Amino acid sequence: MSETKYSTDHEYIRLEAEVGVVGISTYAQEQLGDIVYVELPNVGAKLSKGDEVAVIESVKAASELYSPVSGEVVEVNEALNDEPALVNSDAQGGGWIFKISLSDKSELDEMMDEATYTSHTS
Amino acid sequence: MRYLPHSDAERKQMLDVIGVNKADDLFASIPKLAFKSKDFNLPDHSPEFLVQAKLEAMAKKNICASDAAFFVGGGAYRHHVPASVDHLIQRSEWLTAYTPYQPEISQGTLQVLFEFQTQVANLTGMEVANASMYDGSTATAEAALMARRLTRKNKVIMLSGLHPQYLDVVKTYLGDDDGLVCLSEADDANIGSIIDDKTAAIVVQTPDFYGNLRDIKSLADIAHAKNALLIVVITEIVSLGLLEAPGKLGADIVVAEGQSLGNPLNYGGPYLGLMATRQKFVRQIPGRLCGETVDASGRRGYVLTLSTREQHIRREKATSNICTNAGLCALAFSIHLSLLGQKGLAKLAKLNHARAVKLAQALKEIAGVELLNKSFFNEMSVRLSKPANEVVEALAKKNILCGIPVSRLLPNEKEAENLLILTATELTSDEDIDRLSSGLQEVLS
Amino acid sequence: MSMNSTGRPTRANDAPSNEVDNLKNAALLPNEPLLFEIGDIDHCGVDLPDVKIDSEYLSGFEREGSLDLPGLSEPECLRHYVRLSRLNMSIDAGIYPLGSCTMKHNPRLNEKMARLSGFADIHPLQPVSSVQGALEMIEELAFWLMELTNTDAVSMSPKAGAHGELCGMMAIKAALEAKGQGYRSIVLVPESAHGTNPATAAFLGYKVRSIPANDDGTVDVSAVIDALEENAENVAAIMLTNPNTCGLFEPDVIKIADAIHQAGAYFYCDGANFNAIMGLVCPGDLGIDAMHINLHKTFSTPHGGGGPGAGPVVLSEALAPFAPVPFIKKDGADLSLIEHVDDSQSFGRLTAFHGQIGMFTRSLSFMLSHGKDGITQAAYDAVLNANYIKARLEKVFTAPFGNQPCMHEILFDETFLDGTGVSTLDFAKAMIDEGFHPMTMYFPLVVKGAMLIEPTESESKKSLDYFCDKMLELANDAIAGNAERFTQAPKYAPLSRLDETLAARQPKLKWIKGD
C-alpha cells in the first residue's frame, strides 16, 4: 500500500495497485458529524482535478467532495448506500468513497503527506 | 388598539430601560431619506363590529355555491366538510403553531404529518409522500422538474386534457424550453411514436380536464419502455375512492390537488398540493418530509428529515425553493379522510359518481346539449348549441352556476367556444339538476 | 471538500437521568398512538347513503384492492386530534419568539371573516359577474399593500414567501429579456440571506454571487459596487433582505439601489422583515423594484403548523407590466379578471386560480382593524419589544452587532457560553423546560451559534419581563457551570431530544403494518 496523500480540502487518496482510493479524512468526518448519506458518482465518470464528484450529507449540512486528482472513476463504494456511517467509523478504511484511475500521477506530488496534513489541521 | 398590549406608561418604562428618550430614537439607524415620503390614504383603526360589517358587505355581493344550483368543478370541488374538521383545525395548538422546528414540543404537528404522508401514499398507491405542496398546479410543475433531475433527461411530454391553468404553470416553471412538448387530443394516440430516449416524463391527468378517465397502465408501459417516468395528475382526489390507485398501475410520481377533502372552495386558495413517489426517488422529492425516529429514552417520535434537499441547507443547490407548505390544509385533509376511512371514501366516491350519472342522463335529454364523455367520474363535458360563456352568464342571473365555459381557459381555441364542463358531487340534489335542465332548455331554445 | 457544517449535534443525547420521569407529566400529555393503530377499516365518522352504481361510465378503471385507510367515528376522531394537539406549542399558549418568522397574535375575527360563505363558498371559475365582492376584497387588500409600500402594482398570486420570490425574480427576468438583456446571468445575494433567496435565483438559472457582510452585520456596499464593476453587463439583480436577518436596517440601502439601477440591474427585496418598518418606511421610496410580503408573518394570518402562507409581491413601475396573470382590471364600477397572457408582457401564470384568497380576507381584516395608526404603532411596539429584550439581556448575552439599536429582532451568538459546555442548541432545549418556544437558532449563518429572538408587538411588558428573567436565570446557570440542566434538556417536554441522525440514515416516512 502506498503512502496516503491529502488535499487542502480534506480528501485523501492512496494508491492500491495503480488505482487511487479516495475518501474524506478522519479529521473531516469528525468536523461534519454524523454522516447520513453519500451521493456517489457514476462509474466511468471522467474527472478533472477539483471537479465536484460526490456529496456527503450530515443531518444539517451537505458538503461537496472534490476530486483530488484527474482520471476516471472505476469503482464506487456501494456499501455506503446502506451504511453511510462507515464514513464516520472508518473514514480512511471501509468508508472510502470511490476509486479512480489516475491520468496524471504527478498531481499526487502537489498533495500533502500525513505529517504536513496533521499540522495543517491542528 | 385591541391587539397591542402596551399602555403608554409601559412604553415609557421600557424606553427608560433601553436608555432612549423616545421611540423614534430606536429608528436612528434608518437614514432620514428612507422614511416614508407621503401620508397614507388609509383609515385609522376600527372596532370589530365595523370591520365585520365592511367585510360582510363585500361577501354578500357574491353568489355563493350554497345559494345556487351549483355545477362548477375544473380543479376545485364543492364537497361537504364535516363540522368537526373546522372545529379541530381552529384549535390554537394547530392554528397558531409554526413549522415544527423544535420536535420535542411539536409532536402533534409532526405525528399528523406522518399520518398525512401515510394516507397520501396509501391513497395514491405509492411508497412515499411528502408533507404537502402549495397546490395541485405547482405540484405538477415541481414533478416535471423532479423527473428531469431523476432521469437526467430534458423532454417532458404533456398529454392533452391537462387542466389548462396547470399547463400554464408548468410552462412558467420550466421556462421557454424546447424540452416541453404539449400534445393535442389527436396526438395523444401517437404517444408511442412521439416518446424517445430523451424523454424524462409523460404527464397525464385523470380524470382529465374534460372529465374523461385515462388509461394509466398502458401509458406507464410506454413511458417505462423508454426509461421515462409517468407523472399522473389528479385534481379530484375523491375519485380514488372508486378508481384504481395510479401507483398500482405503474405511475412513478403522483401529484394531486387535495382541496376536495377538508377544504372549502375559498375562491381558489389556499389549497393543498399532494405529491407521492417511489421510495428510491425520495432524495429528489421537493418540500418537507416527516420521518419516524426515537428520543433519548427510546420512545417513538417524529422529526422533519432529509432536509439537506431543502433551500435552508442546500441554498442554490436545493431541489426547490419551497419553504412554507400547506400545513393546516393538510391537517384538514387528514382529519376528513380519517373520518371517512376507506369505507366512507368509497361511499362518497360512489355517491359522487351516481349524482354525475344522474346529471349526464338529464343532459342527454336536452335539445342542443351533446354529452361528449364515454367515461367520467363526477365531471363531464358537453357541446352546446350556443357559446358556453353566454349560457353561463344567462343562467348565473337565475342563480344557476352551470359549469365552466372552456373558452374562459382556452380563449384562442375556436372549437372550444361551445364547450361546457359540469360537475356533480354528493351535494348536487335532484332539484338542482331539474333547475339546470329547465334553465338550459330555456336558454338554448 | 466544502466543509459545510453548522456543527450542531443531531443525535439524541444520552438518556436523561432516572430522577426525571417524563411519564409523570402524562396526566395532560398523553402518549397518542397513530391513527392507523387506533382506527379500523370498518369505522366511519361520516354518514353517507350506500348507493349502487353500474360501471357504464367507468371504462373498467374501478379500484380492486384495499386502500389501507382506517376510519374513526366522530368521538374517536375528536379525541385523537385533541390529544395530539396537546403535544404542540402555539402562540396562544406562550411567547414563540422565532426570529424571522414574526409569530404575532392571530386575531380570531380574521378566522370568522374568512369563513363567511360569501368568501369561503365561492368557486374560482364561477362567472366573474357573480364574485364582484371577492374581487373588491382583493382590490382593497392590494390597495393597502401598495399604499404601505408606495409602489405601483402588486401581484396577488404567490402562494407563500418563496413563491413570491419566484414571482419577483421572474418579473425581473422578463423585464431584462424585454430589453434584450437576457444575457445578464448573475444575482448578488448577501451571505446573511434566507436560503430561499439563492435557491430562487438558482431555480431561474442565475449564478449566485455571495456578498460579504460588514463587521456590524450590514451589507458591505463597497462589495456590492465591486461586484457590479467586475461584471458591469452581467448582473441581473440583487436580492436583499431589509431589515436584514441580523435584525438591522441596511443603512446604505438607497446607495445600493442607485448602484444597482445604474448598472441596469433590478433590486429584489425579501420582505420577510417588513413588520419592523410598516407604516414608517416605504420600500418603493428606497428604490426597490420588487418585494414579497409574507401575509402569514406581517399581516397575521395563522402559520398553521407550516402553512398555508401567502406572498403577494409589490412591483415598481418598471416591473409592473411583467406581473403574472391573473390580475384585476377596473371598468367603472365593474371589476374584471385578466386571466391570459395575450397582448401583455406578463411572464405567465404562477398557480392555478387567483392566489390565497382565504389568507387575503384574514389580512384585510387585520389591516382594517389596525388602520394606518395601528399598523405604525405595531411596528413601533415590535421594535420596542426587541430592544427591550436586548437591553435586559445584553449584560449577559453577547450581541455580535450590539452597539446599535436593533429593529424587530435581536441577534445573539453563543460567545457568552464559551467554556460552559453548553451550546446554542442546549440552551434552546433548556428554554423548552421553562415553557418557552425557543428562538430561531443557527440562523443567520454569519455568526457562531446564532440566537435570533423576535418577540413581535403582541407580547405584553409582563410577558417580556418574565421571558427576560428566565433567560437571564438560564444564562447565569450555564455560566455557573450547571451544564447538565442544558445538555439533558428538555426534561419536561412530551419527548426528550430526538435522534435526527437515525431518521435521516434510515428514512421511515410512512406507517407500515408490523414495521
One-character DSSP codes across B164-213: HHHHHHHHHHH-S-TTEEE--HHHHTTHHHH--TTEEEEEEESS-TTS--
Residue C60 Cα to chain centre, angstroms: 46
Q: How far is C138 from chain A (nearest CA, A)?
A: 40
Q: How far is B314 from chain A (nearest CA, A)?
A: 7
- Which residues of chain C are at the A interface, by a Cβ-Cβ cutoff of 8 Å? 1-11, 442, 500-501, 503-505
Tell me which of C85-89, C110-114, C338-342 is least confident.
C338-342
Q: Which pLDDT band holds residue C18 (cuts at 50, 70, 90)?
A: very low
Q: Which pLDDT band holds residue C3 (cuts at 50, 70, 90)?
A: low
pLDDT of residue C21 exceeding 70, the answer is: no
Domain locations along chain C: 111-367
Kindly tell me the number of DSSP H helices and DSSP E strands found in chain C. Answer: 14, 12
In C, which residues are within 8 Å of B345 by CB distance? 67, 69
pLDDT of residue C17 exceeding 70, the answer is: no
Residue B243 Cα to chain centre, angstroms: 19
Which residues 215-234 of chain B have a CB within 8 Å of chain A?
Answer: none
Q: Do B350 and C377 touch (CB under 8 A)?
A: no
Instruction: Determine the topology of domain B84-337 in CATH.
Output: Aspartate Aminotransferase; domain 2 (3.40.640)
Eight-state DSSP code of residue B307: G
Average pLDDT over every residue of B100-113:
96
Neighbours of chain C (3+ CB pairs under 8 A): A, B
Q: Do C45 and B75 touch (CB under 8 A)?
A: no
Average pLDDT over every residue of C77-95:
96
Q: What is the pLDDT of residue B280?
A: 93
Task: Annotate C7-69 with DSSP letters as a single string.
Answer: ----S--SPPPTT--GGGGTTTS-----HHHH-BTT--SS--------STTTTT-B--S----
Q: What is the pLDDT of residue C213?
A: 86
* Residue labelled with grid coordinates 436593533: C406
Distance CA C37, CA C45 (A): 16
Q: A79 touching C, CB under 8 A? A: no
Instruction: Determine the topology of domain C111-367 in CATH.
Output: Aspartate Aminotransferase; domain 2 (3.40.640)
User: Of the candidates A95, A85, A83, A41, which has an alpha carbon nearest to the alpha carbon of residue A64?
Assistant: A41
| Rounded percentage of chain A residues whose pLDDT exceeds 90 | 81
Distance CA C158, CA C162 (A): 8
Within 13 Å and on the Cβ side, how many CA atoms surround C399?
A: 25
CB nearest C10 (choices: A9, A59, A84) = A59
- Candidates B25, B55, B128, B309: best to mutate against C (most CBs of C within 10 A) is B55
Q: Which pLDDT band holds residue C392 (cuts at 50, 70, 90)?
A: very high
CB nearest B313 (choices: A36, A39, A60) = A60
* Residue C321 cell numbers, joined: 407590466
| Rounded percentage of chain C residues whose pLDDT exceeds 90 | 86
Average pLDDT over every residue of C295-318:
96
pLDDT of residue C185 exceeding 60, the answer is: yes
Residue of A nearest to C1 (CA): A65
Q: In degrees rounded to 5, what are phi and psi of residue C23?
A: -65, -15
Q: Which pLDDT band holds residue C446 (cuts at 50, 70, 90)?
A: confident
CB nearest A11 (choices: C1, C6, C442) = C1
Which residues 17-56 of chain C have a CB within 8 Å of chain B?
Answer: 22, 31-32, 34-36, 39-46, 48-53, 56
State how far the alpha carbon of C179 is from the alpha carbons of B57, B322, C173, C174, in Å: 44, 29, 10, 9
- The helix (run of H) or strand (run of E) holding residue C422 is none
User: Of the candidates B79, B117, B138, B141, which has an alpha carbon nearest to the alpha carbon of residue B330?
Assistant: B117
Q: C273, C341 in Cβ contact below 8 A?
A: no
pLDDT tens figures, B333-353: 999 999 999 999 999 999 999
In A, which residues are within 8 Å of B313 by CB distance? 60-62
B-C Cβ pairs (cutoff 8 Å, strict): 707
Q: Are strands B253-257 and B229-234 parallel, antiparallel or unpaired?
A: parallel
Residue of A nearest to C442 (CA): A60
Q: Do B115 and C36 touch (CB under 8 A)?
A: yes
Q: Whole-number mean pLDDT of chain C?
A: 93
Q: What stretches of C204-280 show up as alpha helix (H) in DSSP?
A: 221-230, 253-262
A-C Cβ pairs (cutoff 8 Å, strict): 58
pLDDT tens figures, C454-482: 999 999 999 999 999 999 999 999 999 99
> What is the b/e burial string over C441-453, where b = at least 16 CB atoms within 10 angstroms of the residue's CB?
bbbbbbbebbbbb
Q: How many angstroms separate the most distant Cα atoms in chain C?
A: 78
Q: What stretches of C394-457 show up as alpha helix (H) in DSSP?
A: 424-433
Distance CA C130, CA C212 (A): 53
pLDDT of residue C20 exceeding 60, the answer is: no
Q: Are strands B400-401 and B69-70 parallel, antiparallel or unpaired?
A: parallel
| Rounded percentage of chain B residues whose pLDDT exceeds 90 | 94
Q: Are strands A11-16 and A4-6 parallel, antiparallel or unpaired?
A: antiparallel
Under DSSP, is residue B404 helix (H, G, I), strand (E, B) or coil?
A: strand
Q: How many residues does chain C have?
A: 515
Task: Annotate B218-229 with DSSP letters as a single string.
Answer: HHHHHHHHTT-E
Tell me which of B53-57, B429-433, C13-17 is least confident.
C13-17
* Residue labelled with grid coordinates 344522474: B358
Q: A57 touching B, CB under 8 A? A: yes
Model ipTM over 0.90 = yes
Eight-state DSSP code of residue C258: H
Q: Do A33 and C504 touch (CB under 8 A)?
A: no
pLDDT of residue A61 exceeding 90, the answer is: no
Q: What is the pLDDT of residue C342?
A: 80
Eight-state DSSP code of residue B243: B
CB nearest A63 (choices: C2, C7, C504) = C2
Say which CATH class B65-80+342-444 falls into: alpha beta
In A, which residues are within 8 Å of C7 by CB distance? 31, 33
Q: Do A60 and B314 touch (CB under 8 A)?
A: no
Q: What is the pLDDT of residue C445?
A: 83
Q: Do C4 and A9 touch (CB under 8 A)?
A: no
Q: A57 touching C, CB under 8 A? A: yes
Q: How far is C225 from chain B (nearest CA, A)?
A: 20
List CB contacts of C146: < 8 A, sequence separation 6 or more: C152, C153, C154, C314
Q: Are strands B199-205 and B155-158 parallel, antiparallel or unpaired?
A: parallel
In A, which residues are within 8 Å of B307 by CB distance? 59-60
Distance CA C153, CA B19 (A): 41
Q: In degrees rounded to 5, what are phi and psi of residue B155?
A: -80, 125
User: Of the candidates B130, B157, B389, which has an alpha carbon nearest to the alpha carbon of residue B283?
Assistant: B130
Q: Which pLDDT band holds residue B324 (cuts at 50, 70, 90)?
A: confident
In B, which residues are within 8 Å of A57 by CB distance? 308
Domain locations along chain B: 65-80+342-444, 84-337
User: Of the candidates C248, C184, C186, C200, which has an alpha carbon nearest to the alpha carbon of residue C403?
Assistant: C248
Strands (E), B338-411: 369-371, 379-384, 400-401, 404-405
Neighbours of chain B (3+ CB pairs under 8 A): A, C
Q: Do A63 and C500 touch (CB under 8 A)?
A: no
Q: What is the pLDDT of residue C16?
A: 53
Q: A41, A117 in Cβ contact below 8 A?
A: no
Q: Do C125 and B295 touch (CB under 8 A)?
A: no
Q: Do A36 and C504 touch (CB under 8 A)?
A: yes
In C, which residues are within 8 Å of A28 by CB distance? 1, 3
Q: Do C4 and A62 touch (CB under 8 A)?
A: yes
Average pLDDT over every residue of A100-115:
93
Average pLDDT over every residue of B325-335:
96
Q: C71 touching B, CB under 8 A? A: yes
Q: Do B323 and C340 touch (CB under 8 A)?
A: no
CB nearest A33 (choices: C1, C2, C9) = C9
> What is the b/e burial string over B363-398, where b = at least 16 CB atoms within 10 angstroms of the residue's CB?
beebebbebebebbbbbbbbbbeebbbebbbbbbeb
Q: C511 touching B, CB under 8 A? A: yes
pLDDT tens figures, C226-263: 999 998 899 999 999 999 999 999 999 999 999 999 99
In A, which residues are within 8 Å of C507 by CB distance? none
Q: How far is B342 from chain C (nearest CA, A)?
A: 5
Eight-state DSSP code of residue B22: S
- Candidates B151, B280, B308, B315: best to mutate against A (most CBs of A within 10 A) is B308
pLDDT of residue C382 exceeding 60, the answer is: yes
Residue of B nearest to C81 (CA): B88
What is the 3-state composition of chain B as percent helix, strand, coil, each rounded to the nearest 5? Answer: 45, 15, 40
| Torsion, CA B433, CA B438, CA B439, CA B441, rounded to 10 | 120
Q: Which CATH number fits domain A4-103: 2.60.40.420, 2.60.40.10, 3.40.50.670, 2.40.50.100?
A: 2.40.50.100
- Candidates A26, A57, A60, A65: best to mutate against C (most CBs of C within 10 A) is A60
* Residue C62 cell numbers, joined: 374501478
A-B Cβ pairs (cutoff 8 Å, strict): 18
